[in-house]
Amino acid sequence: MTDRCPPYSFEAGVRTRHMSYDELRDELRTPSAPSIVAFPDGSVDIYCRVRDGDGYVSSREGFGSELSDGAESFRLEPRDREAGGQAVNMATQAHALGGRVTLFGHLDHPTFADLPYANRSMGEPASVSVVELEGDAVMLVTEPEAIREWTIADLRVAAGGDLTGVFDADGVCCGNVTSFPALTDMFRYLASRGGSGGAFVFDPGDLTDVTDDFVADCFDALADLDARFDVVVSVNRPELELLAEQVGASRRSDARKLDAVRANANVSAVVYHGKSRAVAATRDGTVTVENLPVSTVERTTGAGDRFSGGMTFALAVGMEWEPVLALANACSSWRVERGTTAERDDVRKLIPEG
């Protein structure tokens, strides 16, 4: 194990400190440019509104009501297009904070032509229609066959035949195991290599369409990987609830759910990112940092990925857990409120005084 994902020396339990953002402000005064690798997905995200005969559908409830009442025809009206996908979003956030990023993704589309960091494509991206509703979004995804068939060989080709330098980075972030089932084999391959790496942040993505055995096999591979990296699993509410149910902890508090999932997975940490707070269960205890308030909701899609990208950057730098969560929260809140990606100066502006 490495020391890039620093532990806390306190007894297990929930500990919340309001000084977390002050500590983050101090951390951000020192320039830092950790090396970060992200892989393997990519998507062209088209943001749309749904129009019916009377105007725009504004909420899930309204959409559901119209369907229940027999409505059969709606029109999707595109509003915006951007480069997306979990790996792309995490890489974009880490770069915006100052990281030296290399992305290996599915980027064969003009939308990705202007990515401001090193990138290598492994094939055609997914296409995602993001239906934006009031403070929410529904995603309709079309994936090319190449995504489901992705293997470590595709990554090796994109890396020029040699993976040695790819995973010696200070931080690695990846996700979307449902679309890329071969990630489990990748984890085992990395675990079999000698030496030690930095922080490895894994956001599994939507787990509702995979079997319990698949999830268990994935987490067994992550446990092996934790011998080489400091593995941190980043989850949202549905993912936490599903994993907690699998380990018999569904009736516990969030902190205890996370701790049960982490202990069962035998990884360095499991982190939950929610609207009001972030909670990290580590081998040395549980840390909670309240989220920053947002005045408006501009865009929720990609906010969780910004959280994971900010967390990867902070862990790669070597921050303690409280400023790690504070930075991740700030990146997520900025995305929700502004619809863009927070840079280092943006985070400083967002941090409350005192």
- Residue-wise pLDDT tens digits, 71-96: 878 888 888 999 999 999 999 999 99
- Give 197-226 as a 3 state SS string: CCEEEEECCCCCCCCHHHHHHHHHHHHHHC
- Single-letter amino acid code for the residue at 111: T
Strands 43-52 and 75-84: antiparallel
The pLDDT value given to residue 184: 96
Place of tokens 């100066």: 345
Residue 76 has a pLDDT of 85
The pTM of this model reads 0.91
Tell me what pLDDT residue 69 has.
83
Q: Is the pLDDT assigned to residue 330 strictly greater than 90? A: yes
Least confident of 11-15, 33-37, 117-121, 294-298: 11-15
Identify which has the larger pLDDT, 8 or 30. Answer: 30
Question: What secondary structure does DSSP assign to 141-185, as a single string?
Answer: EE--HHHHT--HHHHHHHTTT--TTGGGSSEEEEE-TTT-TTHHH
What would the mean pLDDT of 186-201 be, rounded to a whole number?
Answer: 89
User: Residue 16 pLDDT > 70, yes or no?
Assistant: no
Residue 226 banded pLDDT, cuts 50, 70, 90: very high
Q: What is the mean pLDDT of residues 322-330?
A: 97
Which of 57, 6, 51 is closest to 27 using CA atoms?
6
Prior bond of 40 cis (ω within 30°): yes
Q: Rounded mean pLDDT of the chain?
A: 90
**Cα-based torsion angle of the residue sequence 285, 5, 41, 309 in order, rounded to the nearest 10 degrees:** 90
Q: What are the structural domains, with CATH classification, of the chain?
A: 14-49+83-350 (3.40.1190.20)
Residue 278 contacts by C-beta under 8 Å, 6 or more apart in sequence?
Answer: 271, 272, 288, 289, 291, 307, 325, 328, 329
Q: Which pLDDT value is given to residue 179?
A: 94
Token digits for 86? 């979990």
Give the angle 318-321-323 at the CA atoms, nearest 5°. Answer: 85
pLDDT bucket at 1, cuts 50 / 70 / 90: very low
pLDDT in tens, 23-47: 999 999 999 999 999 999 999 999 9
Helices (H), the chain: 20-28, 60-68, 86-96, 145-148, 152-158, 183-192, 212-225, 237-246, 254-265, 303-317, 321-338, 344-350
Q: What is the pLDDT of residue 18?
A: 59
pLDDT at res. 305: 97
pLDDT of residue 193: 82
Q: Hunting for tokens 């990630």 — which residue is that?
A: 183
66 touches 142 (CB < 8 A): no
Q: Residues 132-169: pLDDT tens digits?
A: 887 778 888 999 988 989 999 999 999 999 888 777 89
> What's the CA gap between 200 and 31, in Å, rounded?
22
Q: Confidence band (pLDDT; 50, 70, 90) for 70?
A: confident
- pLDDT, position 117: 98
